[in-house]
Amino acid sequence: MTFDIDKRLQHASQVIREAGKLARGFFDNRSELVVKLKGVQDFVSQADAETEDLIASRLLGEFPHDGILGEERGRRGGDTDALWVIDPIDGTANYVRGLPYWCVAIALMVQGRIELGLIYDAVSDKLYTARAGHGAFCNGKPISVSGMQRFDQACLGIGYGHGEAPGPHAKVIDNLLAAHCQYRRLGSGLLLMALAAEGALDGFYELRMKPWDALAGLLLVREAGGFTNDYEGRGMPQAEPVLALTPALWAPFAQAMNVTLPLYSAARPVKLRAGNV
């Protein structure tokens, strides 16, 4: 079965802007927002659920045989190898506090490969898009990773997930600072990966990320000319490390951090069809 990726990109670009407008409306009136806790420091709001429902409804309305995997609602539909992976609000803890570091994200996997990645920063009205083999863009203009050559002059985005043990994360920070590498932690891994893709940061690292937190950003960095680890190579993971860097920093990162992850290659076959996730 063939899939019209261009049509899906065009439609998803419209949908994510509509979803961002909805989420921004809740954000601007957050004093009335219903917020719950899924776990320690793990917030979920009415906005998360309604934004995901809007995205799923619009995508399935246009592509009724595609599948949906969302952070809040889980898996639904799908009798083909096309799977949309949705994070309605990445950075909910920021969102409910009124901090502007959050975004909406959509990725499309076809037969286990990431074909589309979209990240919308609704506060700044910046839409990042990538299609496999066609480059990365912000509001329609091409973007690329930084040309940073030296790890001791670099600045990386760092993520830290809910419920993670503090020790390994503290070790990451210790190693970075010992190597004179700066870091930023905004509370939205996808937003940090978008910033890496456009060269504002020199890369991103997090010890454990789920698919909806990672896929759109991974494709964006790859299509912007960066290197990433082979996150999805063994099929759709539950939670795996994510590393995305400007190419010259790949080896210095491994040496400084004592971390070796398999480098993504578009030629490497995947072992799990997206429709079977």
The neighbouring-strand residues paired with 101 are none
Flag whether 89 is marked binding: yes
The H-or-E segment that residue 260 falls in is none
Reported as a pLDDT band with limits 50, 70 and 90, residue 277 is very low
Flag whether 223 is marked binding: no
pLDDT tens figures, 65-92: 999 999 887 787 777 899 999 999 999 9
**Residue 99: how many CA atoms within 13 Å on its side-chain side?**
13
- The larger pLDDT score, comparing residue 269 to residue 8, is at 8
Flag whether 230 is marked binding: no
- Mean pLDDT score across all residues of the chain: 91
Q: One-letter amino acid identity for 135? A: G
Reported as a pLDDT band with limits 50, 70 and 90, residue 272 is very low
Are the C-beta atoms of 157 and 189 separated by less than 8 Å? yes
Highest mean pLDDT among 24-38, 77-91, 200-214: 200-214
pLDDT tens figures, 183-204: 999 999 999 999 999 999 999 9
Are the C-beta atoms of 112 and 270 separated by less than 8 Å? yes
Please, what is the Cα angle at 135 between 187 and 127, to 5 degrees? Answer: 45
pTM of the model: 0.93
pLDDT tens figures, 131-173: 999 999 999 999 999 999 999 999 999 999 877 788 999 999 9
CA pair distance 138, 182, nearest whole angstrom: 25
> What's the pLDDT at 238?
79
Q: Which residue in the block uniquely carries the two structure tokens 């619009």?
A: 58
Are the C-beta atoms of 189 and 90 separated by less than 8 Å? yes
Flag whether 213 is marked binding: yes
Q: List the domains of the chain with CATH numbers.
A: 5-142 (3.30.540.10), 151-257 (3.40.190.80)
